[in-house]
A and B are shown apart, each in its own frame.
Chain A
Amino acid sequence: MSRLQDKLADGCFVVTTEIAPPKGVDVHSVVETAGRLKGVDAINVTDNQGACMRMSPLAVAGILVAEGYDPVLQITCRDRNRMALQSDILGAAAVGVENLLLLTGDHPGFGDHRAARSVFDLDSVQLLKGVENLQKGTDMGGNRLTSAPRFFVGAAAAPAAEPRDPVMRKVKKKIACGASFFQTQAVFQRDQIESFMTEIKAEKIPVIMGVLLLKGPRMANYLNTNVPGVRVPDSLIQRLDQADDCLAEGLGIAREMVSWAREWCQGVHLMTFGNEDLIGDILAA
């Protein structure tokens, strides 16, 4: 069992954050950043985040394992077909990765290789099922594995997305296909996480709520136009606009959101974009 899984099983409130692999081969910054993360249970390693090409997250996750951390390897369906995905997942098990977060992936149109052909041979539900089968010792072609991997497998959920019903139906499919925890997209409104958690309560599945540190109105507007699935409400943009110290205001907002997560969810996933040093402050009650 991964440490993340253990903590959730023990009913602890978990804290995760994320590291983007470097755009280059020097991994010192990754190790150094990981070292500065205080109070964090697991570190997600993003997979060509925002459809921008970076080092393989599998390599970075392997390095984090070697350094004693508990990484959550994010895997998207955008860049690899079912063979490449399964082979990377077996590789992840071999280097000691114990947590996966299986995602659809942003469309290449958002990234830095817009001419790239997107793959999406599988969707996130099919990938979850594929990993469930790998854990049972069979690949997607129906062939037996010589030895099966073990993972704590997570999936994404978007509590703010409307219309709600098809989104929740997909969430339930993910559970049926072996998702053992959810990480939500950034939540900015209390009622959204409340109603999501109310609806999913009966499933008894841990939910790690996404909290994004807003550093100012410009960043909020940028996220709204450039990051799929992220919608910062106007009221928050206004608060940031009127604040004397944007970052302090953003920190205050993030703290409020962490308090909702403590009330409703089993953990929080912090997205701080280079401000890892503020994680302690965000978590401070």
Chain B
Amino acid sequence: MIISSPKDRRTLSQRLDPYDSVFIVGCGSCATVCKVGGEEEVFATQEWLEQEGKDVSGNMILDEACHIMRASRELRRFRSQVDEADVILVLSCGAGAQSISDSYDKPVLTGVDPLFLGNVRRFGQYEEKCSLCGECLLNQTGGICPVTTCAKGLLNGPCGGMVDGHCEVDEERDCAWVKIYQRLTLQQRDIFSQVVEPKDWSRKFKPGSHDLKKDRDGRGRT
């Protein structure tokens, strides 16, 4: 899921300064699980805004803010409250915020900073393991992604900064390439005898779009 963290309230407050009335939108998916845009956070934000002297015209929580059509439809049910507001404050990832900003002419602000596509270790602890790079290498790397879990995204082994199996950037963190090496060795597999070619970043075309009726290169499926 998409892991986000709340924006600093002081800077958010500056962004909201020109507006008197705010409608708050939360999201019942990732933003609820990582506690940035669920019911609790929407209410807390409403309370904070009221303390700041804002008028909160209403709030609602979308099932999935990233679903463009559905978000727009669900939000329409709150039309009068949204119309009353000068600004819509969205507490979801940037994808969710853009579902809303695309369906309204009103200014849309986001109250969170999206961080990464994350795995859940346990409640409240998230880890990035996949960076959606467009061409998965896990089959060669023992199921450990070097693009994401090596701080430099190296593809051919540990860098010179590795010390005792730890990363140069964070001593607490294991070197991704040492982990890959150990796991592959355990499984009697190997990647070090070959040179891993530079990544084909054309597979990570920006902005990404994908249509199930078409293949990766945009041709219709037969």
Co-complex (A, B): yes
Residues of A bordering B, CB below 8 Å:
77-78, 82, 103-107, 109-110, 118, 120-126, 129-130, 140, 156-158, 161-163, 165-167, 169-170, 172-173, 176-177, 185, 228-229, 231
CA distance A172 to B193 in the complex (A): 9
Q: Residues 193-208 of chain B: 1 if any A CB is under 8 Å from the residue's CB, otherwise 0?
A: 1011111010000000
**Contact sample, A vs B, 13 pairs, CB 8 Å cutoff:** A104-B154, A107-B152, A120-B153, A121-B201, A123-B159, A125-B196, A126-B197, A129-B195, A161-B163, A162-B164, A169-B181, A170-B156, A229-B162
Known: A166-B178, A170-B192. A123 touches B151 (CB 8 A): no
Q: Given A121-B201, A125-B195, A126-B197: A161 and B153 within 8 A (CB)?
A: no
> How many residues of B are counted as interface, with CB atoms below 8 angstroms from the partner's CB atoms?
28
A125 in contact with B152 (CB, 8 Å):
no
B160 within 8 A of A: yes
Determine if B154 and A123 form an interchain contact, defined as CB atoms under 8 angstroms apart. Answer: yes
Q: Kindly identify which residue among B169, B178, B192, B195 contacts A126, using a CB–CB cutoff of 8 Å.
A: B195
**B155 proximal to A (CB < 8 A):** yes
Known: A122-B198, A124-B159, A185-B160. 8 other contacts (CB 8 A): A123-B154, A123-B159, A125-B157, A125-B196, A161-B160, A170-B192, A173-B192, A228-B161
B177 in the interface (beta carbon within 8 A): yes
Q: Which residue of B lies closest to A130 (CB)?
A: B198
B168: interface (CB < 8 Å): yes
Check if A162 sits within 8 Å of B165, measured CB to CB: yes
Distance to closest chain B CB from A46 (angstroms): 14
Taking CB atoms, residues of chain B closer than 8 Å to A130 are 198
Contacts of A121 in B (CB 8 A): 198-199, 201
Q: Are A167 and B162 in contact (CB under 8 A)?
A: yes
A140 to B198, CA, bound (A): 9
Nearest A residue (CB) for B180: A166
B167 to chain A, nearest CB (A): 9
- Note all chain A residues with C-beta closer than 8 A to B164: 162
Bound together, the chains give a CA A121 to CA B48 distance in angstroms of 44
Given A126-B195, A177-B195, A228-B168, are A104 and B159 also a contact pair (CB < 8 Å)?
A: yes
Q: Which of A104, A165, A177 contacts B181 (CB 8 A)?
A: A165
- Check: B37 CB closer than 8 A to any chain A CB: no
B window 168-222: CB within 8 A of A: 168-169, 177-178, 181, 192-193, 195-199, 201
Interface centre among B151, B159, B164 (most CB of A within 10 A): B159
- Distance (Å) between the CB of B55 and the closest chain A CB? 37
> Bound state CA distance, A122 and B200, in angstroms?
11
Q: How far is the CB of B128 from chain A (nearest CB, A)?
A: 15
Q: For the complex, is B158 an interface residue (Cβ under 8 Å from A)?
A: yes
Query: CB-CB < 8 A to A103: which residues of B?
Result: 160
Provide the residues of chain B in CB contact with A105, threshold 8 Å.
152
- CB of B195 within 8 A of CB of A170, answer no
Complex interface: chain B residues within 8 A of A170 (CB): 156-158, 192
Across the interface, do B153 and A173 meet the contact criterion of CB distance under 8 Å?
no
Nearest CB in chain A: distance from B164 CB, A: 5
Collect the chain B residues with CB atoms within 8 Å of residue A173's CB.
Answer: 156-157, 192, 195
Which B residues lie within 8 Å of A125 (CB)?
155-157, 195-196
> Could you say which of A118, A124, A157, A229 contacts B168, with CB atoms under 8 Å apart?
A229
User: What distance in Å separates the Cβ of B115 from its nearest Cβ neighbour in chain A?
Assistant: 16
CA distance A270 to B201 in the complex (A): 39
Is the pair B154, A107 in contact by a Cβ cutoff of 8 Å? Answer: no
Contact status of A161 and B162, CB under 8 A, knowing A166-B177, A173-B156: yes
